């Protein structure tokens, strides 16, 4: 078991003008479940593959424990990887797939079989040990891929979107299984996904990337409550945070003539235009006379306990989209105009130019 550290790690593909992963600094603690998340092409897989040794590191170092593995071949890194398409050996049955690494490592047959059986039991794979991968369902293949990783008792697990080939329902149940399994085994894990719900529900901590640059590393809750910039604010959370441009005002920010109060410390940092972020559940519906932002309701998504209300507002002549979470019984109708405001401690303020967080 071991920690993982990226120290200014960089991957520049030959012929590329910009690194796919730039100056990555990330510390993953021993036994931690770290999720790398970000939009497609942001460099998540590349970062993971650099750790596994499948991708050359063109700058910086990568350490496992206190061992610098930057120039160590993959087979000596003691990392097990679960691939998106599982990469099971089609010519071997399930048991041999799982035992292959152990066999190469010179583990005796008895011990090999014992470990395979143990993993198979853990993953409900016992009836399938003799089958070839092509005779398994997608979910079973996924479990074999997991089994192949866990029989090795490696230092680190790397998983690259291991759930993306499963249907929605299976994905949700497998997600909890993997998280529980990881906790039980206590093996340091790096998990790549582009699905922020997966990231939030599985990770001890989540690293958000964009364009090859790490944006923020934090616990899921901290990411949700204190996004460090506009990108993270908009990426984490579903439906996404409302991001509206605003001007500085007296004791707050002004969105299309409506003053939204912010706390004093934040207000003192504002200079120039800002972007205001408000989560759907942070809106408060008020009467017209209280001076909220008018929003014309266009779509109502009833979820039973509450509802998401989608509407349009006017931002100095430019139409803006707003999502509001409304409690059951207080759900407005389509076509109605509601007035909304928020509270100082629930308003995120970001610099209009750099997108950096200004709120404390």
Partner 1 sequence: MSATIARRRATRQAGVYVAAAALAVFVLGPIFWLVTTSLKPRSEVFASPPKFLPTELTFANYADVLTPDTLQFFANSVIVCLGTTVMCLAFSLLACFTLTRTGTRGRKPILVGVLVSQLLPQAVLLVPLYRAADTLGLLNSRFGLMVAFMTFTLPVAIWLLRGFLMAIPLELEEAARLDGLSEFGAYWRVIVPLAKPGVAAVGIYVFFMAWQDFMYSLVFLTDASKRTLPLGVLALIGSHTIEWGQLMAVSALLLVPILLVFTFAQRYFIAGLTAGAVKG
Ligand X SMILES: Nc1ncnc2c1ncn2[C@@H]1O[C@H](COP(=O)(O)OP(=O)(O)OP(=O)(O)O)[C@@H](O)[C@H]1O
Phi, psi of 88 (to 5 degrees): -75, 145
φ, ψ dihedrals at 51, nearest 5°: -65, -40
Closest distance to Mg ion from the beta carbon of 45 (Å): 3
Q: Count the residues of the shown chain that bind partner 1, applying the rule CB under 8 A.
A: 22
Can residue 73 be called a binding residue for partner 1 (CB under 8 A)? yes
Q: Out of 4, 28, 62, 81, point to the residue binding partner 1 (CB under 8 A).
A: 81
Distance CA 192, CA 254 (A): 39
* 240, interface contact from ligand X, partner 1, Mg ion, none, CB < 5-8 Å by kind: none
45 binds Mg ion (CB under 5 A): yes
Please say which residue, 45 or 174, places its beta carbon nearer to Mg ion. 45
DSSP, collapsed to helix, strand or coil, labels residue 306 as strand
Q: Kind and range of the H or E element at 178? A: helix 168-185
* Stretch of 1-9, 18-26, 38-46, 202-210 contacting Mg ion, by CB under 5 A: 38-46
134 binds, among Mg ion, partner 1, ligand X, none (CB under 5 to 8 A by kind): partner 1
Binding letters toward ligand X, positions 35-54, x by CB under 6 A = ---x-xxxxxxx--------
Least distance (Å) from partner 1 to the CB of residue 54?
5
How many residues in the shown chain lie near ligand X by CB under 6 A? 12
Q: Where are any strands of DSSP class E within the chain?
A: 4-11, 21-28, 33-37, 59-64, 67-68, 79-82, 156-160, 188-193, 205-210, 213-218, 242-249, 252-255, 258-261, 274-278, 284-286, 293-302, 306-315, 318-327, 337-341, 348-351
Q: Of 251, 229, 258, which is closest to residue 241 (Cα–Cα)?
A: 229
Among 7, 12, 54, 249, binds partner 1 (CB under 8 A): 54
- Please give the angle made by the CA atoms of 285, 287 and 290, to the nearest 5 degrees: 100
242: which 2 tokens?
């409302």
Q: Which is nearer to ligand X, 38 or 332 (CB)?
A: 38
Instruction: Work out the end-to-end distance of the chain between its first and last CA atoms, rounded to an integer number of angstroms.
Output: 37
Q: In the complex with ligand X, which residue's Cβ is closer, 232 or 246?
A: 232
Give dist(CA 344, CA 248) in Å, integer. 14
Site for partner 1 in 136-165 (CB under 8 A): 148
**Contact residue for ligand X among 2, 9, 20, 64 (CB under 6 A):** 20
Per-residue contact flags (x/-) with ligand X for residues 181 to 220, judged by CB under 6 A: -------------x--------------------------
Q: What is the DSSP string of 12-52?
A: --TT-SS-SEEEEEEEE-TT-EEEEE-STTSSHHHHHHHHH
Choose from ligand X, Mg ion, partner 1, none: what does 13 bind? Cβ within 5-8 Å by kind.
ligand X
Smaller CB distance to ligand X: residue 160 or 351? 160
From the list ligand X, partner 1, Mg ion, none, partner contacted by residue 93 (C-beta under 5 to 8 A by kind): none
DSSP 287: -
| Gap between the Cα atoms of 128 and 151, Å rounded | 16
Residue numbers at the binding site for partner 1 (CB under 8 A): 52-54, 73-75, 77, 79-81, 83, 85, 87, 89-91, 100-101, 104-105, 134, 148
Which residues of the chain form contacts with ligand X (CB under 6 A)?
A: 13, 16, 20, 38, 40-46, 194
């Amino acid at each position: 078991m071991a920690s993982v550290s990226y120290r200014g790690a960089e991957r520049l593909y030959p012929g590329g003008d910009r690194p796919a992963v730039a100056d990555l600094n990330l510390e993953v603690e021993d036994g931690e479940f770290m999720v790398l998340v970000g939009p497609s092409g942001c460099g998540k897989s590349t970062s993971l593959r650099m750790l596994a040794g499948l991708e050359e590191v063109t700058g910086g170092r990568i350490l496992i424990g206190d061992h610098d593995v930057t120039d160590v071949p993959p087979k000596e890194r003691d990392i097990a990887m679960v691939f998106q398409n599982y990469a099971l050996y089609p010519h071997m049955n399930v048991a041999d797939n799982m035992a292959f690494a152990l066999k190469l490592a010179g583990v005796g047959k008895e011990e090999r079989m014992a470990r395979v059986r143990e993993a198979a039991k853990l993953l409900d794979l016992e009836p399938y040990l003799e089958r070839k991968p092509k005779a398994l369902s997608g979910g079973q293949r996924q479990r074999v891929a997991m089994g192949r990783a866990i029989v090795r008792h490696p230092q680190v697990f790397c998983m690259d979107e291991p759930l993306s080939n499963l249907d929605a329902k299976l994905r949700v149940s497998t997600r909890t299984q993997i998280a529980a399994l990881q906790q039980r085994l206590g093996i340091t894990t790096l998990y790549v996904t582009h699905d922020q719900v997966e990231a939030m529900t599985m990770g001890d901590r989540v690293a958000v990337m964009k364009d090859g640059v790490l944006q923020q590393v934090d616990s899921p809750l901290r990411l949700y409550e204190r996004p460090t910039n506009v990108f993270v604010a908009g990426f984490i959370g579903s439906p996404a945070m409302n991001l509206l441009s605003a001007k500085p005002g007296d004791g707050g920010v002004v969105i299309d003539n409506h003053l939204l109060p912010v706390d004093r410390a934040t207000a003192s940092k504002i200079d120039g235009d800002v972007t205001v972020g408000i989560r759907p559940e942070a809106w408060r519906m008020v009467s017209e006379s209280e001076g909220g932002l008018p929003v014309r309701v266009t779509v109502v998504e009833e979820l039973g306990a509450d509802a998401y209300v989608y509407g349009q507002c006017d931002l100095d002549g430019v139409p803006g989209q707003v999502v509001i979470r409304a409690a059951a019984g207080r759900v407005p109708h389509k076509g109605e105009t509601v007035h909304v405001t928020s509270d100082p401690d629930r308003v995120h303020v970001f610099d209009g130019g750099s997108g950096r967080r200004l709120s404390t």
